[in-house]
Structure formats: C-alpha cells, structure tokens
Chains A and B, each alone.
Chain A
Amino acid sequence: MTTFLQTLMDAISVGSLYALIALGYTMVYGVLRFINFAHGDVFMLGAWFSFWVTTKFGWAGEGAHPSIPRALTVMAIAMALCGLLGYLIERLAYRPLRFAPRLNVLITAIGVSLLLQNTGQLKYVFGTENQRMPTLLPATTLATVAGVNITLIDVIIVAGSLVLMGVLDRLVYRSRMGMAMRAVAFDPHTASLMGVNVNRTVSATFVAGSMLAAAAGFLYATKYPNLNQPAFSTWTLLGLKAFIAAVVGGIGNIRGAMVGGLLIGLIEQFGVAYSAPLSHGYITGEFKEIYVFALLILVLLVKPSGILGRLTVEKV
C-alpha cells in the first residue's frame, strides 16, 4: 500500500511537469500544424534561467534561505525570459517560413533546438558542468500518510501546474485572444479575413507556451536540483516524453495534453515500481522509457488521433 501511494504521488508530480511542457507542443501544433522541436530546449533554458537568476540575486550558498516570495520572483523572471525567447524564436526563425513547406519549418525547428543547446553550453553562458540549483523552497514534509511523505515541493508542483493549466484553459476558452487562437487554429485565412491579427495570435501562442515551459523548468529544478549541462541527453529525453504526452492526449488538444502528461507519469512510475517484483528481478528500472514509447505505439495503433483528439481530414 505504501509503495502504491508513494508511486501514485511521484507519478502525479512528474506527470504534472510533463503536462506543462506538453501544452507548449500542443498549442503550437494546434495553431500552426507543426511540431516545435525547440520547445524542449525552452524548458531546459527555463530551468537554467532559474538557476542563473537565483545565483545572480545572491540567493545561493550562504544567502540560501528558502522563501516562497523568492521562489515566485525567480519563477516569474524565468517565465518572462522564456516568453521573450519564445517570441524571438517565432519571429526570427518560423515566421519567415510561414508559407514554406512544412518540412522546412520542421528542419528549422531542429536547427533552433541545436542552436539553443549549444549556445547554452558555451563557457560564457551556462557552461558544460552540472550545477546545483540552490534551495528556494523549504524541504518541509507537510504530512506523512501511510508511510508516504508528502513534501511541500511536490504539493507546489501539482498545485502550481493545476493553477497554470487553469489560467491557460481560461485564456484559450474564455478570452478574446483565446478565441482568436482557436479561430486561427481552425482556419487561418478565414480568421484573417474576419479581422483576426494572425501574426499577433501566433506570437501570443508561442509566448504562452514558452512561459509554461519555463514554469515547468523552474519546478523541475526545485524538484531535481542536480541540473545537467544544457546539451545533455536528459533534457532531450524529457522534451521527447512531453511531446509523446501531447500525442497520446491528442495533439492540438489542450485538455488532451494534460491527460497525456499525467498518463505518461503514471505509466513510467508504476512501470518501474512494479516491474522488478512482478518479474522476479528480470525487468528493472532501466525499462522506464520503454513503457512510455510502448504506450505511444499502442495509442497510435488504436486511436491515432490521441485519447481526446478528433480525427481531422487533411485538407489538400
């Protein structure tokens, strides 16, 4: 029972992070119909910006006192920086290719991803070494239920993700900008004929997605304070899992991304926790990714449009 509850808690916590990142993939796909492969790197930079801001403010080492206002400040700055970055990526790299074949945009996205990773590991940016994210949130255990420690950090991750997803949901379904986003996603030409500013809407989509990725990056850095260097495989893999979460949930569908993220978290955590005892030690923790990719294959076979996705007929 303890194992079950502990695993459930870890799964929800990790799954919320995947969901936050997945939203960025799915929003851009919804509006522009292409996969922004640089999105995982924006998440990575969100984590590293958080580290950078914290050390710049002298909140590392001797000055490291956990405090929630500090944590919020750092997260807000990281979100602002990544929002700006998202705007610039769209403006400089993707907008000139808006009417180019989709393959060109996809390859450009890979280029942007490489650019961000390699710039990140420059000596004068973040370097090639691991860094320890200073402690911004107290490592308090709020309660112990049936032998499971419920820590403040996990509660903040889940609550923070829920709040951000709620805000996004309102933005997309209850605001004028959201209506514009949905209109552009439905038919960009008609939307622009109806007076929707397509460029501004697309920019807003990138900014919102990048800010969510930055928030995920900040939360990730507080949960896993050992930050790997910007071009490390950890980041690529996290980005990839979030992308799978978006596909599993139904790419282009915002609520689908949330469901997909949680599902990926559940699959990998329960897979690892129960595989060794059930298989008498033959299958162990390193199969973690296999569960995730197997789920992707299964979903693509059974319901290619994703769990909440709708089948769309490709317009020729």
Chain B
Amino acid sequence: MALTLTGCDQQPQQPAVTGGSPVATPGEIVVGQYGSLTGSEATFGQTTDEGVRLAVEERNATGGIKGRKIKLVTYDDRSNAQEAGTVVTRLITQDKAVAILGEVASTRSIAGGRVAQQYGVPMVSPSSTNPTVTDIGDMIFRVCFIDPFQGTVMAKFSHENLKLTKVAVLYDKGQAYSTGLSNYFQQAFKEMGGTITAVETYKGGDPDFSAQLTTIRNSGAEAIYIPGYYNEVASIALQARKLGIPNSVPLMGGDGWESPKLAEIAGEAVEGCYFSNHYAPEDERAEVKEFIAKYKAKYNGVTPGALAASGYDAANILFDAMGRAPSLSGADLAKALAETKNFKAVTGLITINKSRNADKSAVVLQMKGGTPVYVATVEPPKK
C-alpha cells in the first residue's frame, strides 16, 4: 500500500542539541547520546537529555576527564526503533563517539545496543528496564533495575498495601518493555495468591481501547495493571473512565508512566493511580537534594522526574568509569564500567552486577492533584 510509505519514518534526522563546533576539536572526548526527542515518547528523550546535559556541563566545569573536555553529540530517533539503530551507527562511525548513552524505551535500546555491541563501543542505558537489553553483550550496561524486579514491585504493593486480589492486565504487545513487565507482574501476583481476571493487549498508536476495556470492566477487576508508555496510558485512562470504570478502580503501571504529559492529557482520569519508578523527588538524601537544586537552577525551576535523574546518573557513572579506565578503548571502558561499585547516584546506591545491571530499590508513586507523590519503597530481593 502506497500509504505505508508516507508514515513519519522517512525524513532524515537532524543533529540536535550538540555542544560547540560540529567536528570535535583535538583533545575532546566525544560521547554520543540517542533518544526520543520527538514522537510518541518525546518527553522521555527530552527529560533524559536535560539530565545528561547537566552532568556534562558539571563535569566540564570541573576539568572534564583527565584534563580533556567532554563533547556531547545527541541525535533524535523520533521514538522509532529502526531510527535508533541508524543514529547509533552514525554516532559511532561518523562522530567517532567513544561511548553511547541511551535509550529509555527497551525496544529502542535493544536496536541501538546491537549496533554498539557490534562496533565494540560501550553503551549505558539510563532507564531501559527489559532484561534482554543487557543480554546483547559485554558492552551494554544500565544504571536502573530490571523488569523481573519492577513487575514484582507492583504485584507486592497491590497485594500487601492495597490488599487487592483481582487485577486485570492491559499491555502493549509491540513493546518489549510492556510485554516483559506484564509477564513478571502476572507471575508474581499469582504466586502471592491473587487472580488475574483478564489479559488484554493493544498496539502502540491505536487511539481506541474501548473493546479491551469493556472485557476488563466485565471481568470484575479491582485494579488494572497497564505497563505501557504514558501516551497510550493517558488515552486508556480517559476511555476507561468514560466507559464507567470509576476512579476507585486504580490503574497501575511502571516507569513508562513517567511524564508530565500523563496528567496534562488524562487529568482527573489518572487521579489516585499508582506506578513504580526509579526515584522520588521527596527523597531526603544529600545527592537527591543537590541534584534537584542544580536542575531547578538550570531548567527554570522545574522539579526533575526520574528519567532526568537516570540520565544524570548514567552520564556520571560513565564519566566515573572514564576517569578510572587506563584508556578510552571499548574494552578498557567496559571493564571500568563493570567495576562500578557503591556509586552514590541520585536514584540510589548503584553497583553494576555480573549481568551489567544495577541492583537497587524501586519506589511507588501515586498521582495526586496531577503530580506523582511518594508512597512506598520496595527493596530488591536479597541474594
């Protein structure tokens, strides 16, 4: 069909936010970043980028890495997995990036990660939580928890804190993040003795969820677990309320809900709903307070969300490894990243484990008056 050619996937990407001249001056270290600065998950890329830029600026102000300045090159993948692979190739082959930062959405981290692994360039994902992302190979790292844990967090919270026994699940079958999280949640919730009343799926970009929600409504669920991205979650919430699923049936989700757009679009429909996340701005630790103060000073007083914090952490952990590595070759850098231990990051104390993931706790937030508010912390299982 001719129309399939006319989608939003075909126009060339433009170099976005870059610091300084188009070509790196000798002595500069090029760090590449790719993210969804536009498209369906635009706020993911934008907020992560703000965190990353803050970290780069700080590091350069204090002398860079071994006296060399960092040059950040960022490309937009327009929320598209194919595009993610293309821009990572470009970062490595044309811009000669020594390391890559990105993505938030797991499907795009997998696409970009395969390229980075192939070229032997280390990649650090700030907030992709699907387990398969770091399974790609020894060059791929992340600074966040993974979904087998995140799924358990919500199962545990709904079972123990909310005392729920009947939950329905609605997830996006086209996103590795969403399918993974849905499976882990169902597994954990059933093990705790709960019942999954209905499992329904959707496809990203579909505007209409009424048929799925009708099935869920009739299944008698006390809550609906929707481990999707904020754009569709907003539409789902609006339609669920319109169908007569009251706010007393909360919607629950994961860190894919993290966006100011969720409350902006869904408004009252997501009031009282819960989601698991990487950090809460209410945290009293010194790293968190300092980060929030610096972020607010740079970005017009906006309180940073978890993705900005994760972006900031990913960049800082990468710079820390660069400082420790004997050279900036892929192998040396990967070795230094793997040795990261008890790094005092904004989103928690980060140790990179054998599978190149971070072991850390998760928080549960509740939407109140349009902003996510801290409710509980869930620790990872002790091994």
Q: B28 → chain A, closest Cβ, in Å?
A: 30
Choose one: A110, A121, A231; the contact of B2 (CB below 8 Å): A110
Query: Contact: B5 with A110, CB < 8 Å?
Result: yes
- B238 at the A interface (CB under 8 A): yes
Query: Provided the pairs A226-B235, A286-B174 are in contact, do residues A14 and B39 lie with their beta carbons within 8 angstroms?
Result: no
Choose one: B4, B40, B215; the contact of A232 (CB below 8 Å): B40
Choose one: A6, A225, A240; the contact of B214 (CB below 8 Å): A6
Q: A113 → chain B, closest Cβ, in Å?
A: 5
Chain-A contact segment, one of B115-123, B195-203, B335-343, B357-365: B195-203
Chain A residues within an 8 Å CB radius of B214? 3, 6-7, 10, 273
Interface flags for B37-51 (1: CB within 8 Å of A; 0: not) read 011101100000000
Interface flags for A210-230 (1: CB within 8 Å of B; 0: not) read 000000000010001110110
* Interface size band for A: 35 or more
Interface size on B, residues (CB 8 A): 47
Interface flags for A118-150 (1: CB within 8 Å of B; 0: not) read 100100000011111000000101000000010
Q: B155 → chain A, closest Cβ, in Å?
A: 19
Query: Contact: B3 with A243, CB < 8 Å?
Result: yes
Chain-A contact segment, one of B101-109, B204-212, B313-321: B204-212
Interface flags for B207-251 (1: CB within 8 Å of A; 0: not) read 111111011001000000000000100110011001110000000
Which residue of chain B lies nearest to A269 when distances are taken between CB atoms in the complex?
B211
Q: B316 → chain A, closest Cβ, in Å?
A: 28
Which residue of chain A lies nearest to B10 when distances are taken between CB atoms in the complex?
A114
Which residue of chain A lies nearest to B241 when distances are taken between CB atoms in the complex?
A139
Could you tell me the distance between the alpha carbons of A178 and B39 in the complex, rounded to whole angstroms? 42
Could you tell me the distance between the alpha carbons of A277 and B197 in the complex, rounded to whole angstroms? 12
- A40 at the B interface (CB under 8 A): yes
Q: A262 → chain B, closest Cβ, in Å?
A: 15
Query: Contact: B265 with A130, CB < 8 Å?
Result: yes
Query: Contact: A149 with B244, CB < 8 Å?
Result: yes
Chain B residues within an 8 Å CB radius of A220? 207
Interfacial residues of chain B within 242-282, with CB under 8 A of chain A in the complex: 242-244, 261, 264-267
Query: Contact: B215 with A277, CB < 8 Å?
Result: yes
Query: Contact: A232 with B39, CB < 8 Å?
Result: yes
- B368 at the A interface (CB under 8 A): no
Q: A171 → chain B, closest Cβ, in Å?
A: 27
- B11 at the A interface (CB under 8 A): yes
- A237 at the B interface (CB under 8 A): yes
Query: Contact: A276 with B207, CB < 8 Å?
Result: no
Interface flags for B1-17 (1: CB within 8 Å of A; 0: not) read 11111111011000000
Could you tell me the distance between the alpha carbons of A60 and B266 in the complex, rounded to whole angstroms? 14
Query: Provided the pairs A232-B40, A284-B201 are in contact, do residues A272 and B207 lie with their beta carbons within 8 angstroms?
Result: no
Query: Contact: A225 with B265, CB < 8 Å?
Result: yes
Query: Contact: B173 with A224, CB < 8 Å?
Result: no
Query: Contact: B8 with A288, CB < 8 Å?
Result: no
Query: Contact: A285 with B201, CB < 8 Å?
Result: yes
Query: Contact: A226 with B231, CB < 8 Å?
Result: yes
Chain B residues within an 8 Å CB radius of A284? 173, 199-201, 212
Chain A residues within an 8 Å CB radius of B264? 132
Query: Contact: A286 with B2, CB < 8 Å?
Result: no
- A192 at the B interface (CB under 8 A): no
Query: Contact: B203 with A132, CB < 8 Å?
Result: no
Query: Contact: B202 with A285, CB < 8 Å?
Result: yes
Which residue of chain A lies nearest to B200 when distances are taken between CB atoms in the complex?
A285
Chain A residues within an 8 Å CB radius of B242? 139, 149, 151, 153
Chain A residues within an 8 Å CB radius of B10? 114
Query: Contact: A228 with B40, CB < 8 Å?
Result: yes
Which residue of chain A lies nearest to B6 when distances are taken between CB atoms in the complex?
A113
Which residue of chain B lies nearest to A277 when distances are taken between CB atoms in the complex?
B215
Could you tell me the distance between the alpha carbons of A7 and B243 in the complex, rounded to whole angstroms? 11
Which residue of chain A lies nearest to B204 when distances are taken between CB atoms in the complex?
A233
Query: Contact: A285 with B3, CB < 8 Å?
Result: no
Choose one: A3, A153, A225, A232; the contact of B218 (CB below 8 Å): A3
Interface flags for B333-373 (1: CB within 8 Å of A; 0: not) read 00000000000000000000000000000000000000000
Chain B residues within an 8 Å CB radius of A268? 211
Query: Contact: A289 with B210, CB < 8 Å?
Result: no
Q: A258 → chain B, closest Cβ, in Å?
A: 20
- A2 at the B interface (CB under 8 A): yes
Chain A residues within an 8 Å CB radius of B212? 272, 284-285
- A252 at the B interface (CB under 8 A): no
Q: A297 → chain B, closest Cβ, in Å?
A: 12
- A197 at the B interface (CB under 8 A): no
Query: Contact: B208 with A224, CB < 8 Å?
Result: yes
- A117 at the B interface (CB under 8 A): yes
Query: Contact: A226 with B39, CB < 8 Å?
Result: no
Query: Provided the pairs A226-B231, A226-B238 are in contact, do residues A286 and B205 lie with their beta carbons within 8 angstroms?
Result: no
Q: A2 → chain B, closest Cβ, in Å?
A: 6
Could you tell me the distance between the alpha carbons of A153 and B238 in the complex, rounded to whole angstroms? 13
Which residue of chain A lies nearest to B1 when distances are taken between CB atoms in the complex?
A240
Chain A residues within an 8 Å CB radius of B6? 37, 110, 113-114, 117, 236
Q: A153 → chain B, closest Cβ, in Å?
A: 8
Q: A263 → chain B, closest Cβ, in Å?
A: 16
Chain A residues within an 8 Å CB radius of B261? 129-130
Query: Contact: B40 with A37, CB < 8 Å?
Result: no
Query: Contact: A226 with B3, CB < 8 Å?
Result: no
Choose one: A151, A226, A276; the contact of B198 (CB below 8 Å): A276
Chain B residues within an 8 Å CB radius of A113? 3, 6
Chain B residues within an 8 Å CB radius of A114? 6, 10
Query: Contact: A7 with B211, CB < 8 Å?
Result: yes
Extra pairs beyond A149-B243, A276-B198, A285-B211 (8, CB < 8 Å): A7-B210, A117-B8, A121-B8, A231-B8, A232-B8, A234-B205, A234-B207, A237-B206
Q: List 12 A-B contacts (CB under 8 A).
A: A6-B214, A35-B2, A224-B238, A226-B266, A231-B8, A234-B206, A237-B206, A269-B210, A285-B202, A285-B203, A286-B202, A288-B203
- Chain A positions within 8 Å of B, measured between CB atoms, are 2-3, 6-7, 10, 14, 35, 37, 40, 106, 110, 113-114, 117-118, 121, 128-132, 139, 141, 149, 151, 153, 220, 224-226, 228-229, 231-234, 236-240, 243, 268-273, 276-277, 281, 284-286, 288-289
Instruction: Report, nearest first, the 4 A-B pairs whose CB atoms are least far apart.
Output: A231-B8, A272-B211, A128-B38, A284-B201
